[in-house]
Structure 1
Amino acid sequence: MEESRKVIEFTIVFNRYKKKLYNYVLKMVNDRLMTEDIVQNVFLKFFENLSEIQNSSSYNFWLFKTARNEILYYFRSKRVRLDQFNVMSTDDLNVLSNQDIFQETELKEIKELIMKELDLLGPEQKEVFILKEYGGLSYKEISGILEIDEALVKSRLYKVRQKLVNKISKLVQ
């Protein structure tokens, strides 16, 4: 691939995926500086390997798979167990509506509950949920990234959602 075309392709991919990738990594490592380093490493590796990646439909998979590997490397290098990482604070979710104070307070309580529940999950369930809900990935893409069967992805996601629905419904009642 010629250099100018490679730069253009990289720029397009970077602009398309930087926010999703950043959010995924941040939710996994809960550290903004480390997130920036990991995302930078992922895009650097992407640029270096761009001519070897078969087609543009593989970019999403390649980026998230590489990000996951970088996250795992980070945890291994820091000797952090995967089940000890926390989801980011609820202030960073940017989901609050602009309605009245009561609704904002109620929504904040629900978000805090979701964050607490996610922290109680095993790393496998938590990662599937984050990849699907925050990364916007398909079941097939998650299956490929985590190297597990697509049915297992669906099962884990279903269980996480059920747990969250049960907890939220108790709060709302």
Structure 2
Amino acid sequence: MGVRPDIIRLGTSRNDADAIADLHTRSRQSAYRGLYGDAYLDHDLFDVSRATWRTRFEHFDPAHDLILAAMDGGAPIGLAYASFRLNPRIGALLDNLHVAPERKGGGLGTRLLAETARWLVDEHAGAPLHLEVYAPNAAALAFYERLGGVETTRYAEEVPGGRVVEVARYRWTNPADLIR
């Protein structure tokens, strides 16, 4: 763990899609336990994640989408996915920012967020960055606020398992502020 993982851009390989989906699944099983239904997390999530990520890679458009992976030993340990196509009304949305549960707290989330901001600054004239997070995830809310995110709205969403959960949307008007 002494070597700083590389952060690379992905976008076309089905093998990459499956590796990212598997990391995404592990992260969600850890972070969303008690929020999503256990049956979904334990039985459905793996297939749902693989299908979602295969579709994202299949329809990847580098002009509108960004998929980043923090790699260690050839395996992803962190991921970020942003797109202008997910919610065109608000612009760039960071839909996924996940770090392997055993690697949290080492700065990977901050680095992935900074690289996402760099993409916006370098390739999209510094367009604002948005992300959405489940409001019960106090650690994530504190993380985004510590990095200068400003909460802009909240809304209710039904999550897998049938619970209704509040979602908070954060915005960075100037993503360059995230680049360190």
Into which bin does the TM-score normalised by the smaller protein fall?
0.3 to 0.5
Structure with the largest fraction of helix: 1
Structure (1 or 2) with the greater strand fraction: 2
Structure of higher CA gyration radius: 1
Q: TM-score, normalised by structure 1?
A: 0.34
TM-score by length of 2: 0.33
